[in-house]
Structure 1
């Protein structure tokens, strides 16, 4: 296969050269790019190629690798040359699901800081240098050092694994990694109940009974699920010990034989903390740690959120645990009440959930505190950490190691539940690996999901698990302290022109490494979007130091079949427009009187040949906290210019994103007519919501022309007239049909030369309607009209049209007045309407 790829790259190069000479530059450009991608992939996988591949190429050693790199450079330079000289070149869609691209991303994610984390291929040590995790301050305070089996300490002669542990028999000691130890505890408890090896399975080498054993050379491999695949982390058998040789790390202490130490938890802990920066671990949550340990799907439930339903969650969790489909831990927050009744809790701490019990009307939860007192028998009899050492580490005292509380008390006192779901619940799964570029603050990578429902389950529930890979270097770790990174998995209905598919948890942004979205798949095609947003917490330019970030998206379903494929590139042309909602342009939704102040653009798509219609796809990005809507409307044109839209009817909508959605909105249409300047409006749901946004307009027949539509009256002299319709003053006179129309508020003015006038009448507050004696008072927005009449003729010169109760008011637009005397009258349709109003004049 490697040799076939080399032949394909050479063939593409020859075809590209021929097409370039034939002046088919777009086709040549595409083939040069594809050839370059293949050459780069070949160079990257050169050392893993089949050894027979060299003879196929007729070369050997470094000569072939050098030639491949030069070929990649040559074809990509040729592609850049064509692109720089030809402005009509269609962009080449990157094949995000190609074998080469998927392999490249997994290779990029093979480094975590200075630690090598290659893809797991087989058991066995490598020749790489082994690093030791940095010790924690409490280690250093106790003069701890790394001691290995060759030092001949009391634990050196003990088996790495001798008997199966219950979850309650794993002890955390002084290291601040309660989440990982809680994960080990629930995994060990699961193994004891279900006969699996989730807890010990990652540790190698293994004996004939497939349990971990000491390596004679002191080198161990740990197989973790992280950065998109199973990866190998190498460690030695040295563990932190005090000056007496007593281990100061995670241990297994069988209750039946406390002196029979189990050291395998210490090696798993060491490997995990190696990739997390050392023993001075700042904490995680146990579901994330269990994902690394077992590959199970993590989910976090906030117990104090408005959408948390304790009854439904209890039933769901009890069922899942009985079926072996879930493992649970629970977490407290920094604000947790420590003492309540007879149970004292540690703040910001993870607890293992060992069991859920339904006893008639009572619902109970069995919890284990991983940070607890080991059995102490002195250095000569086993040398375990003393209670005094532990007490120095604990933020508060505690009463029990294992304890039982009611479900209601857990929901009240704990902050979060961390659930790990068994991926074997699902018949089908499919994944892809992607990359968010550092050049964009917000990133959205798309693939298409195809679903074939089964007869037994015509509307299956699909889970989409998005996981951001551990950062590749120290620059991103440093930037993370001043930058917040939020991720989310979106699902768009592909059969209904890009409508966001809403479900209970869809599209929620989280500031962790994992995001989980569920939705009912009642359609056969969806667009899945892996979304990232970066927010800077300081002004030190940390965003500029952020690196490219890789991720993996996995789809789980019980459908008959699912598959992922490239999103078809119907829109080869693209233009990006940055924008801002300011105090003057944050108008809110269409029911707000300030809606027309939202940013508006005229979008014109060029024609192509005899095509009568063309396609467009518009996406808008904003902060995760801002709900946004895209509207593309038929334009309002006056005297050849596109006017701002102040209101619209359903028939005016060409396409929209349908509902307000946080952070990201997408709209698309296949029925645009080339040459028409459609009106694009980007709005937030709430008026006054300030902040930046970015619009991307993708088109089919050529790059769209996008022009901002000026604010009403831009460049003209503005005057505001404020008044009110008053019953007492006789100015709440209503429409002409009541015979007192000219008693409404009015203003006269004279001009000595031609003048263009725009006038807008708006209500300042809710109108109060004073009705006749037979009617009661009601609150409603009145129907308005503004009219200009000539004083000499008494005839209407211009009007806003029929009375209307539009939120943005009514307007006379761009009327040209001859020299003379005029009266402008503001009126409501009904009599006896009292309300304050503003009349804006632009001249």
Structure 2
């Protein structure tokens, strides 16, 4: 090679590497270096590398218009340390990234140099694509057999220089670029080339690309299925169904319709000696007698005829891959990150990713919703994921879902005219996901939904400062408390559903009161029962725009004390609001408490106190033990003038959670005395410990 040719080649490589750097900077980092892009375009044009010059100018225009989806697809390009960017093979160029993280296409398992003549001799006696017996990728080879027969144009492979580039469908993109280098190919135990057998070198390239993505180039695969692998090759929507009694009729109908590709998977045990257990087969045609004709990926020379009895007794799965271009006119995609903390902390859909589909057309429309988990080799292959419609009662949902462990889930919904449905996604692992929406009408729109449109929600925990046990505890009112308001123009009652969720099996309860029910004697609907892990109150009558308080309690304190409170209403044009509040001391800044006891010879206790400044007082007197109904009265007088500032002549029952005097106005600088009296003989209730609690905006000094 001449020196000028070498320098030209080096120049081209440098240009492509600079283009890739700027691509990543623009789409991945969100930084548009316009000067560098313009310089690259000029430099490429000057050296007559017109393709790079054109792409650099296009990048200059596109870089400033990067949306969330595009950036997400670029940021999720890395799988197992290698980058697979969302770039069409037509604009890939001969060179990818260099240095660390380069998408070089080198295999993890090293081997000898490619021997085309040897490979041709190996494949000479094999009529079709055939699986290599030392590579456990029957699902991929079955997929290739099907795709070559029914959708060959969907395969995207291009030979550029010394490498091949392939577009595969994964991680939310239909054009993940995989660069394959066939310079070195591992050998099998017999010294032969370790690759599937085919008369098309592109099939070998596709297998190598598949191994790079699925397992970093290693041949030690953990298993897959034909639905997943056909999607990876073509983007055809995967659907997995169990073989049922109507399987033969369904398969023959669909094969004749030509809308999908079909493969079959055998059960863990098979009765037919011609079939292999836990193995995928390509379904290639229907015999004139009505039976299915399948091909074993391990033996390209033999077709197997499958009658209905053989199908039902030996096969477990039907793998359908639907052609979206024939079935639908529109495809929308939304990407998101699923994190199990907090999304799986509580058995509710509220913390999960939520989505809305709007049908603005004049007729009912069908939408297929396809959930795709992004590749992550650290994930458990058996992890469950799903997408489902949000139920009418968003509160009545658990975290035990019947989903798919394949990393995909397909939901088919029908949406009536001018209507909207809401969906939620669930996953057992933290992972990136893409949600695909396929539909015919252009009047279908999809977007992420907000929690506020469904329900009011707050998270909190019981700790040493706010755990005060069950309703029977005199200090129950000190448990976490939340203000509830339903904003509405309605003049009638609205009905609210409340749900309290715990992260453990603790027994839970909630009570709701008017905000000014300081003694907690008039609950809206009283229920003293406690239920394990979840407590639900439905159809509570609420006055619109009135203030209520919800007290959340746990019967026992556990190691996991976090909880979630949810509130929702079915009333139209009403909005539920929840917020943390602290009414225990009247929401005042200063909080003072003193224990006291009754004297044997008298029914009264005097507690002198002074006020630093004029302030409102929130006074509570309570018995710390319950020994029967106690009747008390409270009066307050000025020590200097003997003026009675709070006058009560009658005794009243001391409520379980204390008798409260709210908003008592005290003037600063005065010396006052709180007189607490009980009814009955002096010796009655002498052993009951008592407490005085005072909340105020300025400091209160207790004397004596």
TM-score range, shorter-chain basis?
A: 0.5 to 0.7
Deviation at 1:51, TM superposition (A): 4.0
Q: 2:153 aligns with which of 178, 194, 197?
A: 197
Q: Distance in 1 between matches of 2:502 and 2:304?
A: 46
Q: Taking structure 1 as reference, are residues 437 and 41 closer, same or farther at Cα in structure 2, changes over 3 Å only?
A: farther
1:685 aligned residue: none
- Alignment counterpart, residue 366 of structure 1, candidates 293, 305, 327: 293
Aligned residue in 1 for 2:579 = 704
Unaligned runs of 5+ in 2: 1-24, 42-64, 345-350, 463-468, 470-478, 530-535, 555-559, 569-573, 583-625, 632-655, 660-678, 682-704
**1:434: how far off?**
1.3
Corresponding residue of 1:241:
187
Q: Describe the SS at the equivalent of 1:318.
A: helix
Correspondence 1:533 to 2:427: yes
Residue 430 of structure 1: SS of its match in structure 2? strand
Show the counterpart of 1:226: 170
Matched length: 494
Equivalent residue, structure 1, for 2:390: 492
Structure 1 residue 528, shift from structure 2 partner: 4.1
Q: Partner residue of 2:308?
A: 407
> Would you say the 8 A contact 1:326–1:419 is kept in 2?
yes
1:233 and 1:605 map into 2 onto residues whose CA distance is 55
Q: What is the match of residue 449 of structure 1? A: 357
2:253 paired with 1:319: yes
Which position in structure 2 is the counterpart of 1:147? 113
- Asked whether the equivalents of residues 496 and 538 of structure 2 are also in contact (C-alpha less than 8 Å), the reply is no
Output one character per residue of 1:619-651: Cα deviation in whole Å (capped at 9) or x when no partner: 88899xx9xxx999999996145665379xx99
The 3-state SS of whatever aligns with 2:383 is strand
1:227-376 matched pairs, under 5 angstroms: 227-229=171-173, 230-237=175-182, 238-242=184-188, 246-252=192-198, 261-277=199-215, 278-303=218-243, 309-311=244-246, 313-333=247-267, 336-338=268-270, 340=271, 343-357=273-287, 359=289, 363-372=290-299
Distance change >3 Å, CA 281–CA 620, structure 1 → 2: farther
**TM-score, L = length of structure 2:** 0.57
CA distance in 2, matches of 1:433, 1:601: 36
Could you tell me whether the CA contact under 8 Å between 2:334 and 2:447 is conserved in 1? Answer: no
Matched residue, 1:662: none
Q: Does the Cα contact within 8 Å between 2:403 and 2:409 map onto a contact in 1?
A: yes
Change (3 A) 1:645 1:52: farther
Conserved in 2, the CA contact under 8 Å of 1:633 and 1:652?
no
1:467 to 372, 375, 378: 372
CA distance in 2, matches of 1:673, 1:235: 65
Deviations 1:130-173 (A, max 9, x none): 243334xxxxxxxx824225xx64347999xx9xx98x543343
Who is 1:117 aligned against?
84
Cα distance in structure 1, aligned partners of 2:627 and 2:133: 92
SS in 1 for 2:251: helix
Which of 130, 137, 143 aligns to 1:183? It is: 143
The answer to whether the 8 Å contact 1:635/1:679 transfers is: no
Deviations 1:195-229 (A, max 9, x none): x523xx22113xxxxxxxxx5x3200010011111
Q: Which of 131, 150, 159 matches 1:171?
A: 131
Q: 1:183: how far off?
A: 0.8
Structure 2: how far apart are the matches of 1:631 and 1:524?
Answer: 39
Q: Is the alpha carbon distance of 1:752 and 1:634 closer, same or farther for their aligned partners in structure 2, counting shifts above 3 Å?
A: closer
Answer whether contact 1:285 1:350 (CA < 8 A) is retained: yes
Q: Does 1:422 align with 2:327?
A: no
- Match status 1:676 vs 2:583: no
Alignment partner of 2:483 out of 604, 607, 621? 604
Q: Is the 8 A contact 1:490 1:500 kept in 2?
A: no
Q: Give how far 1:41 is off.
A: 7.5
Q: Give distance in 2, aligned partners of 1:53 and 1:610.
A: 62
Output aligned runs, 1:89-104, within 5 Å.
100-104=67-71
* Residues 459 and 563, structure 2, Cα contact 8 Å, conserved in 1: no
* Alpha carbons of structure 1 residues 405 and 125: separation in structure 2 relative to 1, 3 Å: same
Question: Is contact 1:240–1:248 with CA below 8 Å preserved after alignment?
Answer: yes
Aligned pair in 2 of structure 1 residues 621, 275: CA closer, same or farther (>3 Å)?
Answer: farther
How far off is 1:276 after superposition? 1.1
Distance in 1, matches of 2:341 and 2:538, equals: 37
Shift of 1:673: 3.8
State the secondary structure of the residue aligned to 1:280.
Answer: coil
The match for 2:414 is 520
Per the alignment, do residues 428 and 412 of structure 1 end up closer, same or farther by CA in structure 2, a change over 3 Å counting?
same
> Does structure 2 retain, via aligned residues, the 8 Å contact 1:427–1:559?
yes
How far residue 125 of structure 1 moved from its aligned partner, in angstroms, is: 2.4
- Residues 347/706 of structure 1: CA separation in 2 closer, same or farther (3 Å cut): farther
The Cα of 1:112 is off from its aligned counterpart by 0.5
Structure 1 residue runs of 5 or longer lacking an equivalent are 1-38, 56-97, 136-143, 206-214, 253-260, 304-308, 376-400, 472-476, 536-545, 580-584, 586-599, 656-668, 683-689, 708-750, 757-812, 821-843
1:244 Cα shift? 7.6
Alpha carbons 1:527, 1:567 under 8 Å: kept = no
Aligned partners of 1:430 and 1:556 also within 8 Å: yes
CA contact (8 A) 1:448 1:564 kept: yes
TM-score (norm 1): 0.49
Q: Secondary structure at the match of 2:73?
A: helix
Per the alignment, in what secondary structure is the counterpart of residue 69 of structure 2? helix
8 Å CA contact 2:484, 2:548 repeated in 1: yes
